[in-house]
């Protein structure tokens, strides 16, 4: 993985996603998936733009089918956003960058507001 995007695996899933209170964006993808390849550069750009505010990870569904199954990932790319280890938003399919930014900004605003 290049840049600030970390690879999610069965080994690090619990510590990197489920046990963090950060906002985490996970890109569920596979090597053979054309739309996943279209989304990859957007995910990379977002990881740089939101550095320090958003943890960005990619999970290869072929390598980690049990995690994909746990979250009922039926089509890829699927982007899941987690907060406090729980899924809070889901995007299915390739989307334009502004759509990602709108959701990320909304989630950051919700989760940074004092309770």
Residues with catalytic annotation?
A: 33, 36
CA dist 73 and 29 (Å) reads 10
- Grouping H, G, I as helix, E, B as strand and the rest as coil, residue 74 is coil
Alpha helices in 1-115 (DSSP H): 13, 34-49, 65-70, 97-112
- Grouping H, G, I as helix, E, B as strand and the rest as coil, residue 2 is coil
CA dist 112 and 9 (Å) reads 27
């Amino acid at each position: 993985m290049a840049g600030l995007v970390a690879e999610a695996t069965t080994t690090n899933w619990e510590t990197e996603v489920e046990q963090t209170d950060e906002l985490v964006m996970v890109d569920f993808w596979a090597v053979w998936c054309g739309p996943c390849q279209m989304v990859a550069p957007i995910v990379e750009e977002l990881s740089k733009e939101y550095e320090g505010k958003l943890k960005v990870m990619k999970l290869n569904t072929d390598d980690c089918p049990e995690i994909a199954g746990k979250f009922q990932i039926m089509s890829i790319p699927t982007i899941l956003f987690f907060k406090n280890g729980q899924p809070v938003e889901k995007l299915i399919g390739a989307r334009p960058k502004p759509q990602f930014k709108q959701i990320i900004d909304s989630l950051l605003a919700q989760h940074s507001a004092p309770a």
